[in-house]
Amino acid sequence: MKHQIFKSTDTNVSKFVFEKESTDTDKAIAVEAVLYRYNSYRERTVICCSTQCGCPVGCTFCGTGKFFIRNLTATEIVEQVDTVLKYIDCPTEEIRKFQIMFMSMGEPFLNYKAMEEAIIILSGKYPNAQLLVSTSGPLGQIFWNFDKFITLSIQHKQVGIQFSVHESNDESRARLIPTSTTSLQSIGYLGEKWAESTGRKPFFNYCVHSGNSSQQNITELLDNFNPNIWECTLSVICEKDNSMKNEIEKQIDLIQDFANRMTNAGYSIRVFNPAGQDDIGGGCGQLWYFQQWLNQQKRKQ
């Protein structure tokens, strides 16, 4: 695939856009991957790669979720990672904390077979990389494939899982993720099953805003996510038509206060700060280049 690089003013973040022409059998695609450096690539390198072109899930805050082109092949997923890694300044085996995340564009469990194949290839090529799958838990596919995913996670100890939870009850979550996803209770069950089978902790991701950060929300989270089993990542909602920078600044106090109360409730918390992405659109739903490309495809239809 041909690629272009979009550098953020924050030199620690670069976005890669990959494009491929249509063939007799496959539709044209554009997908994006993001490369993060924390202090140095040697200290910590994080890559987010795409598993689908567009996404059928349709999360309301996501600019890529309004249109779906096609699933990526395992080769196309791996190619994003291999290409991005050509731009770092140290051998991959010397990276101290190395994370490859399946979370840029697409729902990995809707393209399970290719994602599994890509994980097997990447775990062989980059044995020191953690391979983190981020899922909304699409109804049906998550259950049909979860036993296979557990087996994969047992065989490849670098594999981790994060569920995009974002709200503390199913009603609010359904407004954010309009297509069918499994219930929070079922996500809680799947995570516990995965933890029991692998001996590792699953993550849930929660986008904090003024409407979901009360004590009642924490009580609801505790009903389904046992803090002895789950790790929690807090982040900001990345409104597709908002400057992420403004959004972070507005919400930083809110997130900090919520993080303190979640810690008091027993959770181990990390706060994801998508710094530097606001000028390139690096976050999920902020993929500006892809949104322009998508609009061109829509006009062609």
Interface with ligand SF4 by CB under 6 A: which residues?
A: 55, 57-59, 62, 64-65, 105-107, 136, 284-285
Residue among 165 and 284 whose Cβ is closer to ligand SF4: 284
Residue among 165 and 218 whose Cβ is closer to ligand SF4: 165
Residue among 41 and 206 whose Cβ is closer to ligand SF4: 206
Min CB(90)–ligand SF4 separation in Å: 30
Helix axes 74-85, 112-125, angle to 10 degrees: 40
Min CB(277)–ligand SF4 separation in Å: 14
Min CB(244)–ligand SF4 separation in Å: 14
Residue among 55 and 122 whose Cβ is closer to ligand SF4: 55
Min CB(89)–ligand SF4 separation in Å: 30
Residue among 197 and 242 whose Cβ is closer to ligand SF4: 242
Min CB(105)–ligand SF4 separation in Å: 5
- The closest residue (CB) to ligand SF4 is 65
Residue among 107 and 231 whose Cβ is closer to ligand SF4: 107
Nearest CA-CA partner of 236 in 268, 220, 263, 213 = 213
Min CB(103)–ligand SF4 separation in Å: 7
Nearest CA-CA partner of 72 in 120, 121, 105, 39 = 105
